[in-house]
Amino acid sequence: MRYATSDIHGCLHTFRYLVEEQLRLTPADELYLLGDYVNKGPDSKGVLDYIMQLQASGYQVRCLRGNHEQEMIDAARRRWRLAWLGRVNRQATLRSFGVHRAAAIPGLYIDWLESLPYELELPDFVLVHAGYNFALPPEQMRQDYATMLNTKKYVFDASRLGGRRMLHGHVPTNTAKVRKLVAARAGAIVLDTGCAYRHNPELRHLAALNLDTWELTLVENREPPYVIARK
pLDDT digits (tens, 9 = 90+) for 164-196: 999 999 999 999 999 999 999 999 999 999 999
Q: What are 84-122's pLDDT values in tens digits?
A: 777 777 889 999 999 999 999 999 999 999 999 999 999
| Axis crossing angle, helix 44-56 with helix 87-97, rounded to the nearest 10 | 40
- Which top CATH class is 2-220? alpha beta
Q: Are 68 and 39 in contact (CB under 8 A)?
A: yes
Identify each DSSP E strand in 154-196 by its residue range.
165-168, 188-190
* Average pLDDT estimate for 197-208: 97
Phi-psi region of 147 (alpha: psi -120 to 50; beta: other; left: phi over 0): alpha
Q: Give me the percent of the chain exceeding a pLDDT of 90.
A: 91
Rounded to whole angstroms, the Cα distance separating 129 from 103 reads: 25
DSSP-derived secondary structure letter, 34: -
Please answer whether residues 113 and 154 qualify as being in contact, where contact means their C-beta atoms are separated by less than 8 angstroms.
no
Please compute the mean of the pLDDT values over residues 47-74 and round it to a whole number: 97
State the pTM of this model: 0.97
Q: DSSP 3-state assignment of 151? A: coil
Question: Residue 224 contacts by C-beta under 8 Å, 6 or more apart in sequence?
Answer: 13, 42
Tens-place pLDDT, residues 7-53: 999 999 999 999 999 999 999 999 999 999 999 999 999 999 999 99
Helices 67-76 and 107-114 cross at an angle (nearest 10°) of 130
- Of 81 and 181, the structure prediction assigns the larger pLDDT to 181
